[in-house]
């Protein structure tokens, strides 16, 4: 199953340069890396990245994360994937720009087709 992480371009650049990351500032503060499912990603973008440009959408296969991935109740009582270790560049299946146009983030074509 694919899960998704939204990074600002500088956070994505740091992951690529260093090979691992503890995540965005909210991830560091909470002690785990926040992810969203395909069904949750658009709401995450709207709620936590409203109006932001220069974002990247990262896809991560849950099989690569092992027991460090935990599903926990969060927004609206839904289960969200949380990673309790650093995210490695090796965990990332693909990354695509997530532009902001006409008041909304535009997800790449077919991005959620392989998420199930």
Flag residues of the chain having pLDDT under 50: none
Burial of 85 (0-12, 13-18, 19+ CB in 10 A): middle
Structure tokens at 36: 């969203």
- Quick one: DSSP state of residue 51? T
Structure tokens at 1: 């199953």
Predicted confidence at residue 116, as pLDDT, reads: 52
Residue linked to tokens 């499912």:
37
The radius of gyration of the chain's CA atoms, rounded to the nearest angstrom, is 13
CATH architecture of residue range(s) 2-101: Alpha-Beta Barrel (3.20)
Q: Could you tell me the residue ranges of all domains in the chain? A: 2-101
Distance between CA atoms of residues 14 and 11, nearest Å: 5
Q: Are 83 and 69 in contact (CB under 8 A)?
A: yes
Burial 89-111 (b: 16+ CB within 10 A, else e): eebbeebeebebeeeebebeeeb
Predicted confidence at residue 15, as pLDDT, reads: 98
Predicted confidence at residue 114, as pLDDT, reads: 61
Predicted confidence at residue 115, as pLDDT, reads: 62
- The answer to whether the pTM exceeds 0.85 is yes
Residue linked to tokens 């926990």:
72
């Amino acid at each position: 199953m694919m899960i998704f992480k939204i990074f600002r371009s500088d956070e994505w650049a740091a992951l690529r340069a260093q090979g691992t990351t503890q995540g965005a500032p909210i991830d560091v503060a909470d002690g785990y890396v926040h992810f969203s499912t395909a069904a949750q990603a658009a709401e995450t973008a709207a709620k936590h990245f409203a109006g932001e440009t220069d974002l990247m959408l990262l896809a991560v296969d849950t099989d690569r994360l092992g027991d460090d991935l935990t599903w926990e109740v969060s927004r609206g009582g839904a289960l969200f994937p949380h990673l309790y270790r650093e995210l490695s560049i090796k965990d990332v299946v693909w990354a695509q720009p997530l532009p902001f146009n006409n008041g909304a983030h535009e997800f790449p074509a077919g991005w959620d087709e392989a998420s199930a």
